[in-house]
Amino acid sequence: MPHLIQQLSANRVLGGLRTGLAGCTLPAATLREGPARDDGPGAAWLVFLCPDHSEDLPAWPAAASHPDDGSMPCGSVLEYRTAEQQLQSHADLWLTTLTGVDPRALGYVWSDVLDQADRVLLARVEEAGADGEDSPLQNMLAVMGVACRAAAEGDLEVAATSMAHCETLAQSLT
């Protein structure tokens, strides 16, 4: 019998890994199943949560929840959405709030969205005088640069992966 993760993902290829909750290292006790994929069977994402965080992440609404035996650390997210859908999720959850860049205003052209967000972050780093400091914003700039270059080259998968790392860094800003 296939493992629950295989059943819920409909054996789709994993499209990305994210950390929905940075800092918690407890093992998961609950597996939250995201809504079904738009283009076929299987969950769009799966998130693993410990008992203390089982009600957190309201922006990740569950289609269902299942018990988990600690198979992943709390906050781990398995993504089965397309790169474009993952980038939209990043915009919805933190990028637009942090930078003010709205993908709709740029026609969902992800190379333009990420380039504009990068400019905003650079301006924030310069305003804060954080040049050379080991700050989350400074660290985010390096990874955002990778996302910008990848999106400009049409590689949205690498851009989405880079944005997942930026998301983890952004969590330390709140």
Residue-wise pLDDT tens digits, 159-173: 999 999 999 998 887
In the block, which residue shows the tokens 């998301």?
167
Q: Where are the domains of the chain?
A: 4-79, 83-171
Residue-wise pLDDT tens digits, 74-113: 999 999 999 999 999 999 999 999 999 999 999 999 999 9
pLDDT at 120: 96
User: Considering the entire predicted model, what is its pTM?
Assistant: 0.88
| Whole-angstrom distance, CA of residue 90 vs CA of residue 127 | 24
In the block, which residue shows the tokens 């609404």?
61
Q: Which one has a higher pLDDT value, 108 or 137?
A: 108
